[in-house]
Homo-oligomer: A and B are copies of this chain.
């Protein structure tokens, strides 16, 4: 199944969200990652202008969002559900890391609709809601400050879904532009530069061939790391030549 179709099978289910702004942020987060199926279980306030504002260009997801009276209703017809939970529950499924859990979610999506289930901003999911899910996931946070915004949590998991659906190489924008690059310089061209540089430094008195010290090895070491391009060799030698014209010395190579 192609990545876009897999992503279209993922429902994002928000249980009892309190703030309509968060619902809008969730819609925006989903759409940026190619998800489109939003379910709202007993939203406190929806529809709402604040949701539309925060959704920006993702209002279409809000318009077709399904509102249900229970989590079971939101999961009807799906084959696998993952609960976001910050803490392990006694009888709940073991909490996994995002990357491994999302990989499993996408494997299950080959068989039908799947769901990512998020709880209320303040109290999270109830134990009963967690037991409707076959897996649980937490987003690892700073133990001293784990207050992840609902929209941010959805953003992170939807991002992981997109990364996984495209096998960690989703296409990136702007690939039509090829960054400027010149062919790599050959080693004899690099040697030509070193000779030119040594000659100039000798003329200026910066380098004394009778007492060479470690100057040239250090310059070789530095330029060795750069992997110079032909174009760059030309620029550097142009600079060197220009100093020679200025100081009255001719090019010597």
Q: A residues engaging B (CB < 8 A)?
A: 25, 28-29, 31-34, 56-58, 85-95, 97-99, 138-143, 145-149, 151-152, 155-156, 159, 162-163, 166, 168-175, 177-180
A171 contacts which of B57, B140, B151 (Cβ < 8 Å)?
B140
Asked if residues A31 and B89 are in contact (CB atoms below 8 Å), the reply is no
Q: In the assembled complex, which residues on chain B have CB atoms less than 8 Å from the CB atom of A148?
A: 32
User: Chain B nearest CB: distance from A89 CB in Å?
Assistant: 7
**Chain A at the B interface: mostly helix, strand, loop or mixed?**
loop
Neighbouring B residues of A33 by C-beta, 8 Å:
141-142
Mind listing 22 A-B residue pairs with CB under 8 Å?
A29-B149, A31-B142, A32-B141, A34-B142, A57-B145, A87-B173, A88-B177, A94-B179, A95-B174, A97-B170, A97-B172, A98-B163, A139-B159, A140-B162, A140-B172, A141-B162, A143-B171, A143-B173, A149-B151, A152-B152, A152-B155, A156-B159
Closest 7 CB pairs of A and B: A87-B174, A140-B170, A88-B177, A34-B142, A152-B155, A31-B145, A88-B174
**Which B residue sits closest to A93, measured CB to CB?**
B179
Copies held by the complex: 2
Minimal Cβ-Cβ distance residue in B for A55: B147
Q: What separation, in Å, do the CA atoms of A155 and B150 have in the docked complex?
A: 12
Report yes or no: B90 in contact with A32, Cβ–Cβ below 8 A.
no
Distance from A160 Cβ to chain B, minimum over Cβ atoms (Å): 9
Contacts A86-B174, A89-B179, A143-B173 supplied; 10 other A-B pairs, CB < 8 Å? A25-B149, A28-B149, A29-B149, A32-B148, A90-B177, A91-B179, A91-B180, A93-B179, A97-B169, A155-B156
